[in-house]
Structure formats: C-alpha cells, structure tokens
C-alpha cells in the first residue's frame, strides 16, 4: 500500500486493468493501480522505470492508456467510466507527460553518461571489454571509481552547454514572406525570440506583462512587427502602442550609452568625426533627435535609421557581454580596451617608441668567473698517456729520418690478403656491419601482437592500480577489496596473460614480451602475501 508520506496527485476511478475494475493513482514518484475494493496495489511502476506512454487513437471505442517500461513490459489501463473516460484518460496522460520527463532524466542519465564515456575514450572502451565483458571484474567495480559523484551533483555541470551568442542580423534573418494576400508572414523561431529578448529587455518586459493575460503570443508578435518600434523609419509618433514605451526606454538607454562614452578606442568612430558637439552619435546637443523642429522629414528619417542601427548594434554587443560579464570579458570576442592594448599587434599600431618615456629596465650583468669551462669538451681533463721527453725526441727523430727520403710507392700499397680481409669485414655480416642487423623490437613483432600486448598492459595496469590503492589496509572494506583484487589479478593472469604467452610461443617469437607484466603481478602477489602473514600474526 502507499506509504502515508506519498503525495497523491490524481485519482481516477473506474479504470480497468486486465479485465478487472479498479482505481488508478498517480503519485509523486510512481503510478499505481489497485483493484476495486482492495486496499493494496497490484500494479505499481516508478516513473523512472517507464520509458513512454501510449494512448489509443481518438476514434476507437476503447479508451486506453499504455505504459511501456524500460524492460519492455507494458501495462494497459482501460478507462471505463461512461461519462468521463476520455477526460480521465487525457488528464492522466497530461500528468504523466509532465512527470515522466523529470524522472526519465535521472534514470537514463547514468547510462547515457557511461555510454558517452565509453564512446569518447577508446582506451576505456577496450579496458571495459577486456575486464568486464570477460568477467574479470564486475561492471560495478569498473564504474565505481569513474562515475564519481555524478549522482549527487547538479546536472548542469554535465551539460557542457555553451552560451549562444546573438547574431547581429537576427532581425534581418526573419525574412518575412508574403502570404498571398497583402499580408506578411514572419517566421519566428525560439532562437530569434530569445535573441530579441536578450537584446531588447524592454520587449521582454512587455511580453511578461502582456502575455498571456492580455494578448496571446501570436497577437503579441503580430503587434510587435506591426509597431513602429520595429520598422525602420520609425518616428516616434506617440501612438497608442504597447511598444511606444519601449521606444522611449530605448531613447533613454541610448542617451545613457552616449553619455558613458565609448570605452573601446578601436571600435571608436569618434576620431573620424569633426564636429563633435555631443559624444559622437549626433550633431545636436540639447534637443532630442526625435524632435522634428528645424529638420526636413527626410533628414529626420535618416537620422532615425542611423540611430536605430547604432542602437541595435550597441544592444547586441551589450547583450552579449551582459551575461557572465566578469568571467568572460575579453574572451568572447568583444575586445575590451585593456585586453586590446595588451595585444602586441595593436600596441604596435598605436604606439610609437620614440614618443614614449624612456624607462630602461634595470638589468643585472652576468658575472662569470670561470668561463673557460664552457670551452672544454666532454673529454675528461686527465690525459691518458704520458711520454717521457726522451721518447718524444726519439719519435720525432725517427719520423724525420723516415720521411726525408719519402717516395710514394703506389704499387705496393696493399696486399691482397689485407684487401680481402678488409672486404670481408665490410661486407654484410662482417665485423663492421654488425650493428645494422639489430632490429628494433617493434619491427620484429607483428602489429596484432603489439596491440594485444598494449591492451594487456592497460588492463593489468587498471587492476594493479585498484590493488595498490588498497594499501595501507586499515578498514574492513579495504581488506575485502584487497582480497578481491588479488583474486581478480589471478583470474586475469589465467584468462588473459597465459593464453597470450602460449600464443606468442607458438609463433616462435623468442623475445620475452610478458616478462615485465609477470614481474608486476609477482610483486603484487608477494605484497599480498606479506600483508596476509602479518595480519595472521597480529590476530594470533
């Protein structure tokens, strides 16, 4: 039966399930059905287990709602109240529609996360295959360390969503189409709506005020597009438009922006303006630019367009930097003046060396005491042989004597035996050619064997990491884990390492590829053994 603390959201009577009359209860976390007259629920499903719901088509006589679970099972409820079956069913359906998504996310999230991790990281995937699929360790142990605190934390960090910027042309992209009879169709997508709201907060405010109380959404947007606020040549005629206030607000905003000045010197068009009376955007100072006095209509409409463009651009820029301003300034492509001036390219363009003050940095001179050390080569200073001066004199005299009558004797330079032995030494296999035959190990082993070896190393490394992280063993959980890991290691050795060794032996590869792996496993075993004996001793 339902626990008393469960909140019941909806009760529907006269719902049949499996040809039995009963009542359907929708609770906070599950949906349940109990037969008529009985207290207990025979059918109860958590929303998290439900994959989706289906309803029978509208024309059918039987009004049914089917729940399909993740496991594939389905449960069908037949609404049999003559008067209100359809309403009941629809009510149930709506409620489920709202509830299911909330729970769905939590259940699948883990699986999704796991799948994503496996797909993104092929090494992890291989490790998973090696260890879990071949049942060396269980899936839970595998995921124990990796999922971390995913279940506890807020889902938003995992969304990895980036903030979307605002396209400067979002209004132009709307591209109205004629709908055949003197009207225009504007296609508004959610993105465009969002852009409009972000750029013009005044419009958002209006939307909040008027929808859905006064206007439907459709009407609101129709009015928006019709209003002079939106159109190019808007001259604030003060019509009774819900958007006239927005226009006024925009004016205020623009003025304040203008007063603030432009912080960014390089987007600044100030320097091109000769007659700057104001800070740059207009010529007149005192009267607001919407005043029609002293101006022709054309001039004022031009000014209005230019003003609108400027305002639009400024708002787009401002909207982009409005969010997360502190963190993202300077990285979102909106160049702040400070970041620009640090940029070497720009500082080259705007700075002249000889116009700046001379500020030489204080440098410290390099003070080398024994600079001859650098000149000395890697040969040790001690010389190997010493000869007596008498020896030297003898040698020099001997040579002199020899060379006094030197005459080249080019026909007797080489004897054939000497020549042939030299040739043997230089031929492949000879004394001098030996180093070339040593091939790198990775050229002698076929690539599949290399790949398998890599996988073995990855799997062994993972297991060993779990094993060694248990030490020092100071809790019963760690004790259990260490013993489990040892059995896992042994199982790994038996199921993976030994067949691999046999395989390479069969291929007559004489190199010892698995020696190191075995050494690592052996170290682990001996450590376990030591720990176990110590434990025994402590107990006795």
Partner 1 sequence: FSAEDEINLLVIVVDVNPIWWGQQAQREPELTLSKCLDAVMVLGNSHMAMTRTNKLAVIASHCQDSHFLYPNKNWRGGDNGGEDASSSGDGKYELLSVANNLIAEEIRNVMTKKVEGRQTFLLSSLIMLSNWHGVSYRYLLMLPFLFSVGQEIKSRILVVKAAEDCARQYMNFMNVIFAAQKQNILIDACVLDSDSGLLQQACDITGGLYLKIPQKIALAQYLLWVFLPDSEQRSQLVLPPPAHVDYRAACFCHRNLIEIGYVCSVCLSIFCNFSPICTTCETAFKIQLPQMVKPKKKKLKQST
Query: In whole angstroms, how close is the CB of 489 to partner 1 at the nearest point?
Result: 12
Q: Which of residues 482-521 bind partner 1 (CB under 8 A)?
A: 520
Q: What residues form DSSP beta bridges with 249? A: none
Kindly tell me which residue out of 407, 506, 538, 539 binds partner 1, with binding defined by CB under 8 A.
407
The region of 124-132, 148-156, 159-167, 396-404 touching partner 1 under the rule CB under 8 A is 396-404
Query: Residues 133, 172, 368, 536: which binds partner 1 (CB under 8 A)?
Result: 368
Answer for the pair 328, 267: CB distance below 8 angstroms, yes or no: no
Q: Using CB under 8 A, pick the residue from 125, 309, 471, 477 that binds partner 1.
A: 471
Residue 83 or 389 with smaller CB distance to partner 1: 389
CB of 506 to partner 1, least distance (A): 25
Question: Read out DSSP for 124-162?
Answer: HHHHHIIIIITTSS-HHHHHHHHHTTTTTS-SGGGT-PP
Token pair 């459709």 in the structure block, residue: 218
Q: Which stretch binds partner 1 (CB under 8 A): 85-93, 102-110, 171-179, 372-380?
A: 372-380
Of 297 and 433, CB closest to partner 1: 433
Q: Measuring CA to CA, how many Å separate 142 from each of 85, 111, 136, 517?
A: 49, 14, 10, 21
Is residue 529 near partner 1 by the rule CB under 8 A?
Answer: no
50-55/43-46 β-pairing: unpaired
Q: Which is nearer to partner 1, 38 or 516 (CB)?
A: 516
Pick 4 or 368: Cβ nearer partner 1: 368
Cα–Cα distances (Å) from 321 to 162, 315, 330, 333, 336, in that order, read 14, 10, 9, 10, 10
Place of tokens 């040593």: 438
Give min distance, CB of 142 to partner 1, in A: 15
Q: How far is CA 455 from the centre of its chain?
A: 26
* C-beta of residue 81 within 8 angstroms of C-beta of residue 64: no
Candidates 19, 60, 385, 506: give the one binding partner 1 (CB under 8 A).
Answer: 385
With CB under 8 A as the contact rule, the residue among 403, 440, 536, 537 that binds partner 1 is 403
Contact call for residue 474 and partner 1 (CB under 8 A): no
Q: Which CA distances in Å does 365 have to 359, 362, 368?
A: 18, 10, 9
374 binds partner 1 (CB under 8 A): yes
- Residue 432 within binding range of partner 1, rule CB under 8 A: yes
Asked if residues 482 and 528 have their Cβ atoms less than 8 Å apart, the reply is yes
* Contacting range for partner 1; rule: CB under 8 A; set: 29-37, 132-140, 197-205, 399-407: 399-407
Are residues 258 and 276 in contact, defined by beta-carbon separation less than 8 angstroms? Answer: no
Burial class (CB within 10 angstroms; exposed 0-12, middle 13-18, buried 19+) of 130: buried
What span, in angstroms and rounded, lies between the C-alpha atoms of 305 and 293?
A: 18
With a CB cutoff of 8 Å and minimum separation 6, the contacts of 244 are 227, 229, 236, 238
Largest CA distance in the chain: 136
Least distance between partner 1 and beta carbon 117 (Å):
19
- The residue behind tokens 């037949």 is 78
User: Which of 399/498 has CB closer to partner 1?
Assistant: 399
CA angle 361, 363, 366 (to 5 degrees): 165
Among 37, 57, 59, 472, binds partner 1 (CB under 8 A): 472
Distance CA 522, CA 172 (A): 71
CA distance 460 to 361: 56
Q: Check residue 406 for interaction with partner 1 (CB under 8 A).
A: yes
Q: Which of 256, 383, 442, 447 binds partner 1 (CB under 8 A)?
A: 383
**Nearer to partner 1 among residue 298 and residue 400 (C-beta):** 400
Q: Does 144 bind partner 1 (CB under 8 A)?
A: no
> Kind and range of the H or E element at 44?
strand 43-46
CB contact at 8 A, 313 and 169 = no
Taking the CA atoms of residue 291, residue 292, residue 295 and residue 297 in that order, the dihedral angle to the nearest 10 degrees is 130
How open is the CA angle 103-104-110, to the nearest 5 degrees? Answer: 105
Q: Which is nearer to partner 1, 207 or 531 (CB)?
A: 531
Name the segment binding partner 1 (CB under 8 A); options: 31-39, 168-176, 183-191, 373-381.
Answer: 373-381
Choice from 183, 380, 476, 515 touching partner 1 (CB under 8 A): 380
Residue 466 C-beta: closest distance to partner 1, Å: 9
Residue 379 CB, nearest distance to partner 1 (Å)?
4
Given candidates 379, 440, 536, 537, which one binds partner 1 under the rule CB under 8 A? 379
361 binds partner 1 (CB under 8 A): no
CA–CA distance from 183 to each of 176, 216, 319 (Å)?
9, 19, 32
Tokens (6 digits) for 348: 């080259």
User: Applying CB under 8 A, does 123 fall inside the site for partner 1?
Assistant: no
389 touching partner 1, by CB under 8 A? yes
Q: In the bound complex, what is the minimum distance in angstroms from residue 490's beta carbon to partner 1?
A: 17
CB neighbour list of residue 196: distance below 8 Å, 6 or more residues apart = 170, 171, 203, 204
User: Residues touching partner 1: how many (CB under 8 A)?
Assistant: 71
Site residues for partner 1, window 230-249 (CB under 8 A)? none
Question: Least distance (Å) from partner 1 to the CB of residue 461?
Answer: 4
Positions 409 through 428 that interact with partner 1 (CB under 8 A): 409-410, 412-415, 418-419, 421-423, 425-426, 428
Nearest-approach distance from CB 321 to partner 1, in angstroms: 42
Give the footprint of partner 1 on residues 438-467 (CB under 8 A).
457-458, 460-462, 464-465, 467
Instruction: Restricting to residues 186-205, name those near partner 1 by CB under 8 A.
Output: none
Q: Cβ 537 to partner 1, closest distance in Å? A: 16
Comparing CB distances to partner 1, the nearer of 259 and 403 is 403
């Amino acid at each position: 039966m339902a626990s008393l603390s469960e909140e019941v959201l909806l009760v529907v009577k006269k719902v049949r399930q499996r040809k039995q009359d009963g009542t359907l209860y929708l609770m906070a976390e599950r949906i349940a059905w109990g037969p008529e007259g009985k207290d207990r629920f025979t059918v109860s499903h958590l929303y998290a287990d439900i994959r989706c719901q289906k309803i029978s088509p509208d024309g059918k006589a039987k009004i049914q709602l089917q729940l399909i679970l993740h496991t594939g099972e389905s449960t069908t409820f037949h609404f049999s109240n003559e008067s209100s079956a359809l309403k009941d069913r629809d009510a149930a359906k709506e409620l489920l529609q709202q509830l299911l998504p909330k729970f769905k996310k939590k259940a699948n999230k883990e699986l999704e996360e796991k799948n994503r991790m496996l797909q993104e990281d092929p090494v992890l995937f291989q490790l998973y295959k090696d260890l879990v699929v071949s049942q060396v360790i269980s899936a839970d142990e595998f995921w124990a360390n990796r999922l971390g605190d995913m279940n506890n934390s807020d889902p938003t960090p995992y969304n990895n969503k980036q903030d979307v910027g605002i396209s400067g042309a979002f209004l132009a992209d709307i591209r109205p189409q004629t709908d055949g009879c003197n009207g225009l169709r504007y296609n508004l997508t959610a993105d465009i709506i969002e852009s409009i709201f972000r750029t013009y907060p005044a419009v958002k405010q209006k939307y909040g005020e008027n929808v859905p109380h006064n206007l439907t959404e459709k009407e609101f947007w129709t009015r928006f597009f019709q209003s002079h606020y939106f159109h190019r040549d808007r001259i604030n005629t003060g019509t009774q438009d819900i958007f006239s206030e927005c226009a006024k607000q925009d004016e205020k905003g623009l003025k304040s922006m203008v007063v603030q000045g432009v912080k960014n010197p390089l987007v600044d068009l100030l320097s091109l303006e000769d007659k700057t009376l104001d800070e740059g955007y207009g010529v007149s100072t005192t009267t607001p630019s919407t005043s029609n006095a002293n101006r022709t209509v054309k001039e004022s409409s031009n000014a209005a367009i230019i003003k609108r463009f400027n305002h639009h651009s400024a708002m787009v820029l401002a909207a982009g930097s409005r969010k997360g301003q502190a963190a993202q300034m300077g990285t979102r492509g909106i160049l702040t003046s400070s970041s620009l001036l640090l940029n070497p390219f720009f500082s080259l363009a705007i700075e002249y060396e000889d116009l700046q003050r001379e500020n030489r940095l204080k440098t410290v001179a390099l003070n080398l005491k024994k600079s001859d050390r650098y000149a000395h080569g890697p040969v040790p200073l001690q010389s190997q042989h010493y000869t007596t001066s008498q020896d030297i004199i003898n040698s020099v005299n001997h040579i002199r004597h020899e060379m006094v009558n030197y005459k080249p004797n080019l026909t007797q330079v080489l004897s054939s035996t000497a020549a042939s032995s030299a040739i043997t030494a230089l031929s492949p296999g000879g004394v001098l050619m030996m180093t070339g035959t040593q091939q790198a190990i990775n050229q002698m082993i076929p690539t599949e064997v290399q790949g398998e070896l890599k996988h073995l190393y990855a799997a062994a490394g993972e297991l060993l990491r779990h094993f060694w992280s248990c030490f020092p063993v100071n809790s019963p959980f760690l004790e259990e884990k260490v013993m489990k890991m040892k059995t896992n290691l042994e199982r790994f050795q038996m199921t993976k390492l030994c067949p691999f060794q046999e395989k390479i032996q069969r291929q007559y590869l004489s190199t010892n590829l698995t020696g190191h792996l075995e050494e690592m496993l052996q170290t682990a075993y001996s450590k376990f053994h030591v720990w176990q004996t110590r434990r025994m001793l402590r107990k006795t």
